[in-house]
A and B are shown apart, each in its own frame.
Chain A
Amino acid sequence: MIESLPFFHDFIWRALLGGLGVALIAGPLGSFVVWRRMAYFGETLAHAGLLGVGLGLFLHIAPMLSVAGIAIAMAVLLRLLEKRGDLASDTILGILAHSTLAMGLIVVSFMEAARVDLFAYLFGDILALSNVDLIYIAVADLIILGMLLWIWPKLLLVTISPDIARAEGIHVERVILIYTLLLAVTVAIAMKLVGVLLITSLLIIPAAAARRLASSPEQMAVIAIALGGLSVVGGLAGSWFWDTPTGPSIVVAALALFILTLVTPARR
């Protein structure tokens, strides 16, 4: 009887802690994804994540590290290509997203044994989080939150008006690059929870839901954290009681919260 309740199992606690740890960084970073219209960039990082997984398995390094590496490379490549100025961002992102996905599929095809693992990376396996994963998440949380607090006012001004920011002596390119790198690392971390295919949803759905409830940028970030946390709890609970896949359940829980906010009047 007692075993039928979720909180008597270590793996549930690990899943909960890991999920909340990711929600903590996905809230504020996701708010900037929404403000800066970068949802497609999140998608690109996710697609490239498959190449990272493939390379990680191929080279026998922890996939979280290889995915972080590939995601950072994507972030830098995007900034460099954007600077040339002759192609629109969405075109560049389309090229990067699909070519890295294709390369990822080719790399994975070389490894018969990897196919089972691959499924976990595509759709996530939050219930399989290890203590080592939790440590990774905790360290990433500390670094990412610290860096984000440090650049917050600058990043906000750069987002509102890059020209004013530049005229006031802010190194706009540098601030955006730091933010992009933080996002890349977050995607690598979140991959373990919901898989590469659903990562962007963790960034944008709680933040989008928070938009209607918030009256300041900071409030929006904090509410996004809370809604992300609720989604994790809801997804885990749903998954436990109805035996649904956990990662997708978290995303559906986030969607349910978003729909709830649609019926509340917007504050603006």
Chain B
Amino acid sequence: MSQTYAPLIQAVDISVRRQNLLVLQNVSLDIHPGQIITLIGPNGAGKTTLLHALLGLLPISSGQVLRQPGLRIGYVPQHMPRDERIPLTVDRFLRLAGTHSDAERHAALQRVGVAALRQRFMAGLSGGEMQRVLMARALLRKPQLLALDEPAQGVDVSGQRALYALIRELRDELNCAVLLVSHDLHLVMAATDEVLCLNGHVCCRGRPDAVSQHPEYLRLFGHELDELAVYIHHHDHEHALDGSILESQRHD
């Protein structure tokens, strides 16, 4: 890991208040080039708030966020309202990312598997398609930091696996840092360098294998982990279209 470089973003002891309620308390975090950092935590834990604070989308009440001057950020928000009022094709939307050639725009869409959507209108995209288009746009900017807020929501398990594999590949291709917000645990744990487990404050942090053994983490997610274990068991095999189990495709 290239920890020797200066951090892209350095957050020192930041807190965020919303209507006198402390939603984020004393969080410090450095994001280094090439690093994949995942923010996990239950609903309302302040994951998106921390992401927004790091990107400068909302004011912090105390502490300090230092971003490298001219830092290129590719941001994929959690929600993108489908807006019927603006006639906007995917291609026109990509052209707002800067001056890129036709081929570059095609390649970016191709990279995330949605090249066919190029002439479609943004308002007609499904949630998953919108997510991919937003990713393509982020890629086009050759970001130093790719920030993804819950990219896997509404994606099925095999789709999620592919998505996290894609994120790792993109990190290697672009040599960018990746900041992920997620509340699904199992898959994201495998695809990340550092995990920050949040619940208003930082409960625990570190490499995924260490965090997954941490008592604070188990206290927050233990219940879900039990459910997940059952879940994994059921997906240990593939079904044929008629629902029968395909013996030849058993993983273990």
Contact = CB atoms under 8 A, between A and B. Distances in A.
A217 interface: yes
15 contacts: A37-B85, A159-B86, A160-B86, A166-B55, A166-B56, A167-B57, A167-B73, A167-B75, A168-B73, A169-B70, A214-B87, A215-B89, A220-B86, A267-B87, A268-B123
Nearest to A214: B87
A178 interface: no
B55 A35 contact: no
Interface residues of A, number: 24
Given A219-B87, A220-B87, A161 B121 contact: no
Q: Interface size class for chain B?
A: 20 to 34
Interface stretch (B76-84, B183-191, B219-227): B76-84
Contact of B93 (A34, A160, A169): A160
A155 to B, nearest CB: 10
Most buried by A among B73, B83, B88: B88
A163 interface: yes
Interface of A: 34-35, 37, 153, 156-157, 159-161, 163-164, 166-169, 211, 214-217, 219-220, 267-268
Given A166-B55, A268-B124, A160 B88 contact: yes
Interface string B117-152: 000010110000000001000000100000100000
A157 B96 contact: yes
A34 B85 contact: yes
Contacts of A211: 85, 87
B77 A217 contact: no
B92 interface: yes
Interface string B53-65: 0011100000000
